[in-house]
Amino acid sequence: MTKQEIRQAVWRLLQSEHVARFPGARGRIPNFTGAEQCAAHVAELEVWQAARFVKSNPDSPQRAIRHLALKQDKTIYMAVPRLREEKCFVELDPSRLGKNLHAASSIKGAFEFGRQVSVREMKPVDLILCGSVAVRRDGARIGKGGGYSDLEYAIALELGIITPVTPIITTVHPLQIVTGRIALKPHDIPVDFIVTPEKSIATKTRISRPRGIYWDYLDEEKIAAIPLLKEMQKKMRAGRSVQGSI
C-alpha cells in the first residue's frame, strides 16, 4: 500500500468504528476518543519528565499533552501553519500565560495568548511531540501528507535547535497502529514513543533519521512560500558560490 492508501484505510477505520471525533478523521491528524487519556502515560516517560522545552504540533488530539506541558512549567514551541511567516513559531511560556494555560493549549488560544518568535529566539528543544495518521511499532510514521512535521524537524536540526537524538513522541488511537510496510523517504521522521489511551510503547526504532533538509524533495513554490526556507536556501547557495571560487 502507498502512504496515501494507508491514510485512507486508517481514516475509514476510525470513522467506521466511531472513534473519530468532530469534524471527522479524513484529511487531517485525526482527533480520537480517549485522546486526553494519553497525557497520563506521557507524564510517566522519563524523556518527558526531563524536558524543559517542547516542540509540538497544533492538532486537537495532542491538546491535552500541550496542556500538561504548560501545567508542568514546560515551554512549548508550536509552528505557524505552513511556516508561512518570518516569525514561524509561537512560543507558549507558562510564566507569561497566567490563568490562560488551558486556553493557550488550543491552536486558537496559542495565537491569542502566545507570542510569535523567529528561530533565532528559540531555546534548544528537549523533546518533539507530533501528530500522526498511522504508525508502526518499529517507529515508522505517516502524517497527513503535507510534510511539515518532517520539514520542521529538518530545519530545527540544521539550525541546532534539536539534535539527532532529540526524543520524538506521538499519540494515537490503537487503530492507528498498522502492521503493513511503510515506504519511507529519507526526510521521514521516525518516532521513539507511541502513546495510546491505554499505554506507551517504546519503539526502539532503528530507522535512520533525516540528516537535515533534503532540498531535492522540495519544489521552488514551497520554498518560496516559506520565508525561513527561502533564506536558508539563499545562504546555502551563497556558500557554494564562495567555495566554488576558492
Is residue 22, in this structure, part of any structural domain at all?
Answer: yes
Whether the Cβ atoms of residue 66 and residue 76 lie closer than 8 Å to each other: yes
| CB neighbourhood size of 219 (10 A) | 9
Q: Tell me what the mean pLDDT of segment 80-102 comes to.
A: 95
C-alpha cell recorded at residue 37: 487519556
| CA atoms of 120 and 179, how far apart (whole Å) | 40
pLDDT of 240 > 70? The answer is no
Convert the pLDDT of each residue in 187-207 to its tens digit. Answer: 999 999 999 999 999 999 999
Is residue 236, in this structure, part of any structural domain at all?
Answer: no
C-alpha cell recorded at residue 34: 480517549
pLDDT at 239: 75
pLDDT of 241 > 90? The answer is no
Whether the Cβ atoms of residue 50 and residue 35 lie closer than 8 Å to each other: no
Is residue 237, in this structure, part of any structural domain at all?
Answer: no
pLDDT at 243: 38
pLDDT of 87 > 80? The answer is yes
Confidence class for position 244, pLDDT limits 50, 70, 90: very low
Is residue 165, in this structure, part of any structural domain at all?
Answer: yes
Is residue 97, in this structure, part of any structural domain at all?
Answer: yes
pTM of the model: 0.94
What does pLDDT average to over the chain?
95
pLDDT at 246: 35
Overall domain count for the chain: 1
Convert the pLDDT of each residue in 37-67 to its tens digit. Answer: 999 999 999 999 999 999 999 999 999 999 9
Is residue 213, in this structure, part of any structural domain at all?
Answer: yes
- HSE-CB of 197 using CA atoms within 13 angstroms: 13
C-alpha cell recorded at residue 166: 532529540
| CB neighbourhood size of 5 (10 A) | 10
C-alpha cell recorded at residue 35: 485522546
CATH number at residue 77: 3.40.50.10420
Which DSSP category does 177 fall into? B
Q: What is the dihedral of CA 232, 146, 43, 88, to 10 degrees?
A: 40
- Give residue 201's domain range: 3-218
Give whole-number Cα distances, 117 to 65, 93, 122, 145, 236, in Å.
22, 12, 7, 26, 23
- Close Cβ partners of 177 (under 8 Å, ≥ 6 residues apart): 134, 135, 136, 137, 194, 196
C-alpha cell recorded at residue 211: 540528516
- The residue with greater pLDDT, 241 or 29, is 29
Q: Residues 95, 55, 161, CA angle at the centre, nearest 5°?
A: 100
Is residue 77, in this structure, part of any structural domain at all?
Answer: yes
Is residue 239, in this structure, part of any structural domain at all?
Answer: no
Whether the Cβ atoms of residue 61 and residue 32 lie closer than 8 Å to each other: yes
Peptide bond into 190 cis (omega under 30): no
Convert the pLDDT of each residue in 2-38 to its tens digit. Answer: 999 999 999 999 999 999 998 889 999 999 999 999 9
